[in-house]
Structure 1
Amino acid sequence: MTEQLLPADFLGYQSLLPDEEQKELLALREFLASEVRPRVNAAWAAAEFPMDLVPRFAAADIVGRSYDWEGRPRASRLFTGFQAMELARVDPSMATFIGVHGGLAMGSIMVLGSEEQRQRWIPSMMRLETIGAFALTEPEGGSDVARGMRTTARRDGDSWVLNGAKRWIGNGTFADVVVVFARDVADDQVKTFVVEKGTAGFAASKIEDKIALRTVQNADLTFSDCRIPAADKLEGGNSFRDVNKVLKVTRGGVAWSGVGCQLGAYEAAVAYAGERVQFGKPIGSFQLVQDLLARMLGNVTASLGMTVRISQLQERDELRDEQAALAKSYVTGRGRETVAMAREVFGGNGIVLDHDVIRFFTDAEALYSYEGTREMNTLIVGRAITGISAFH
């Protein structure tokens, strides 16, 4: 099925997928082109999430493909990586929405929940009837949240009582369930809870005035003597090591989204280079523009090769923390370069939404920072290289 490969997949990595998964990926590409792409710039400009697309995403059956579930066999890790790439290639905000819901929130319940808890929440989340969020970062704790988590949990009979605040929580304004991490005052360990929308003492407010991933509804969350049933503490979420079990898997997904963001910017630049005429010629005929395009393609190809290998390691359950960290930091770092070069191709036209590139340019900044900054991920890699921890 080489005729279905994207031109930017210069080395043909998609051909590593079996034909059935390639057909499914093509169907997703067509769905995104017809149903999602026409909406993304208006949603980004308005900083509003188009909720009417949620049933269409459900009908496209793209949520939770990396999990084994009753009557629905798990897709390969390579396929779900390409799926994240295709989403971000059209809109990194939509990729983030699906990644937060299907990766972080559902992933926490799948990895850390009991069988009863999985049965209670996962089926409706698969159907996007219940939307999830993932609440780890705090107003005063980003990179140091493992040690500095201030949100607390106190066991009180058959309930837990949560107090504290979380920040930058994607899907947080409209999520039906939020996976919340809090430090148990009894043993000082980070525990994992599911808080349902409408619970007394729980409130969410939208973070305004963002210039990246504007469609994503990031929220500030507060918990004021928020009482939840003991049954809503995830059975396997008893330390920050358990949190890392989820993050190791999802960092690979962020790397794939970083590839998609680069692809979207690169493809916009290639199209513009063929259409824009200056000095009587398409600008694509100029050496300096061709140099930019070739350098962008090099970044895309190197990033795609790294993420493909990450997915292959995940498939064999051999992926190490430092490998996921390297992929996330490298791909999003190259992403910043790629979107900047794409923006350069457009000249002054690159700062308006009409040509898409400014959306990818700003969204790349969020991908670069969330789920582990470049600096924190490089320290994870550096520890693996030297055997010495530089965390302080």
Structure 2
Amino acid sequence: MSATSKLPPFDPSDPIGIDDLLAPEDLAIRETVRNWAADRVLPHIADWYERGELPGIRELARELGSIGALGMSLEGYGCAGASAVQYGLACLELEAADSGIRSLVSVQGSLAMYAIHRFGSEEQKQRWLPGMAAGEIIGCFGLTEPDHGSDPAGMRTYAKKDGADWVLTGRKMWITNGSVAGVAVVWAQTDDGIGAIRGFVVPTDAAGFSAPEIKHKWSLRASVTSELVMDEVRLPADAVLPEATGLKGPLSCLSHARYGIVWGAMGAARASFEAAVDYAKTREQFGKPIGGFQLTQAKLADMAVELHKGILLAHHLGQRMDAGRLRPEQVSFGKLNNVREAIEICRTSRTILGANGISLEYPVMRHATNLESVLTYEGTVEMHQLVLGKALTGLDAFR
């Protein structure tokens, strides 16, 4: 650049120019998802959250299918075949509306659909994926159990052979989409010599299957969360995911979903940060807007630095995924950093809004309480710290 070249103006919404890294198609997808969320979620989300409901979830799923947001990074079977970066941008925009909406999409696409797409038979893919991509069929993913979260190898759900069939018995807990799902991907212990843990594609109308909804949540309130109960659910031999044996199957699904969280957490952080900036420019104390005081500006500057560092990290990991070079340890790096920083941004934003920060008139407290769940699910802080610790030292401290 010559000395006489004119620099582009400073953009407060993109202070380090991350948009320069995005292709026109990336920006178009981001705009589509942002507009959908602004039209269909933001006008209603405070009410849904206060009521602890996600009404019209089936209609929302069909609309998300119509814009290509379900299983969007998968190829074929009605899926959009988008890049990892494009999927990440969609996750950011969805979670900027609410974590519950992003969770709906993540569980559908990155867990249930991804499991079938990567590990399923051609018959399973043809049967389930087109309807799931369109939002006509909602899926859920059953791994976590009441007594086994961070240690899924200890799961008690069990599938035993009975002739050519399998009989599935057990319970799963904290399952997003469970009560409205038409299909569940359930992981269970078996006595199969190929691999003790196997995945099963379970139609939720099967006899013995039920999914009571979990109520009284103070986080992810605008999300359907359920328990899965399998009471001797009889499944045909072709219900097994043929290409998944052992824990590698479900853990690879979780890694794919965690990648979306790396982006999504920054959406919650951005919404809270933007609310704080707007409030700081209009709320007056001591004769001027509080945004004109040094302490407030210091908070805003620190939040902006962490927010856009997090988005830059997410973009970098997305490029690695698109290049086939993203390791699970790197996903742990991103989830650990971005969710932790997002919560801190929400808490700091709340201090700028003062008492108004706890009101549902503003999004800050809603995002902060949602992120308390995001911090824990799909790998707690401690688990991701230990993943990185093992990678850094070569020593396993899990036990």
Q: Fold-level match, TM-score > 0.5?
A: yes
Deviations 1:265-319 (A, max 9, x none): 1111111112222222211112111111111111111211111111111011111
Match of 2:277 among 263, 267, 270: 270
Contact 1:303 1:331 in 2 (8 A): yes
For the residues of structure 1 that align with 2:365 and 2:79, how far apart are their CA atoms? 38
- State whether residues 53 and 221 of structure 2, in contact with CA within 8 Å, keep that contact through their aligned partners in structure 1: yes
Q: Does 1:149 align with 2:160?
A: no
Q: Which amino acid aligns with 1:373?
A: T
Tell me which amino acid in the other structure corresponds to 2:65: A
For the residue of structure 1 that corresponds to 2:65, the secondary structure is helix
Verify: 1:181 aligned to 2:201, yes or no: no
The structure 2 residue matched to 1:228, chosen from 202, 225, 235, is: 235
Q: TM-score, normalised by structure 2?
A: 0.93
Does residue 372 of the first structure (1) align with residue 379 of the second (2)?
yes
The 4+ residue runs of structure 1 with deviation greater than 6 A are none
Counterparts of 1:109 and 1:73, CA distance in 2: 16
Contact 1:8 1:297 in 2 (8 A): no
SS in 1 for 2:15: coil
Verify: 1:383 aligned to 2:390, yes or no: yes
After superposition, the C-alpha distances for 1:131-151 in whole angstroms (9 at most, x for unaligned) are 001111000001011x21111
Within the alignment, does 1:27 sit opposite 2:32 as a pair? yes
Question: How high is the TM-score relative to the length of structure 1?
Answer: 0.95
In structure 1, how many angstroms separate the alpha carbons of the residues matched to 2:131 and 2:332?
Answer: 31
| Correspondence for 2:174 | 168
Contact 1:8 1:300 in 2 (8 A): no
Which residue number corresponds to residue 196 of structure 1?
Answer: 203
Q: Identify if the C-alpha distance between structure 1 residues 167 and 301 changes in structure 2 by more than 3 Å, giving closer, same or farther.
A: same
* 1:8–1:263 CA contact under 8 A, matched in 2: no
Pairing 1:201-220 to 2, within 5 Å after superposition:
201-220=208-227
Q: Report how far residue 228 of structure 1 moved.
A: 1.4
Q: Structure 1 CA distance, aligned partners of 2:148 and 2:227?
A: 13
Question: Deviation at 1:250?
Answer: 1.7
SS state at 2:76 partner: coil
Q: Is 2:29–2:86's contact at 8 Å kept on the other side of the alignment?
A: no
Q: Secondary structure at the match of 2:369?
A: helix
Please give the alpha-carbon distance, in whole angstroms, between the structure 1 residues aligned to 2:17 and 2:93. 15
What letter matches 1:27 in structure 2? T
Shift of 1:7: 4.1
Paired position in structure 1 for 2:43: 38
- Measure the CA separation in 2 of the matches of 1:242 and 1:204: 23
- Could you give the per-residue CA deviations for residues 48-107 of structure 1, whole angstroms, max 9, x where no partner exists? 112243332233222122011157662111111111001111111101111111111111
Deviation at 1:14, TM superposition (A): 3.0
SS at match of 1:222: strand
Q: Secondary structure at the match of 2:361?
A: helix
Give SS of 1:192's match.
Answer: strand
Check whether the contact 2:350–2:357 (CA below 8 A) recurs between aligned residues: yes
SS at match of 1:62: coil
- Aligned position for 2:288: 281
Question: Which digits, 9 at most, give the CA deviation of each residue in 1:103-142, with x for residues without a partner?
Answer: 1111111111122211110000000000001111000001
- The answer for the alignment partner of 2:308 in structure 1 is 301
Is the contact made by 1:173 and 1:205 (CA closer than 8 Å) also made in structure 2? Answer: yes
Q: In the aligned structure 1, how far is the partner of 2:191 from the partner of 2:238?
A: 18
Is residue 334 from structure 1 mapped to residue 335 from structure 2 by the alignment?
Answer: no
Q: Which residue of the partner structure matches residue 3 of structure 2?
A: none
Q: Superposition RMSD on alpha carbons, in Å?
A: 1.7
Q: CA deviation at 1:209?
A: 1.2
Structure 1 distance, partners of 2:14, 2:385, is 27
Q: Distance in 1 between matches of 2:282 and 2:182?
A: 45
Say whether 1:317 aligns with 2:321: no
Amino acid at match of 1:148: G
The answer (yes or no) to whether the contact 1:151–1:183 under 8 Å persists in 2 is yes
**Alignment partners' CA distance in 2, 1:271 and 1:157:** 65
Aligned residues: percent identity? 37
Matched residue type, 2:91: A
C-alpha distance in 2, partners of 1:294/1:6?
A: 14
Taking the aligned partners of 2:156 and 2:323, their CA distance within structure 1 comes to: 36
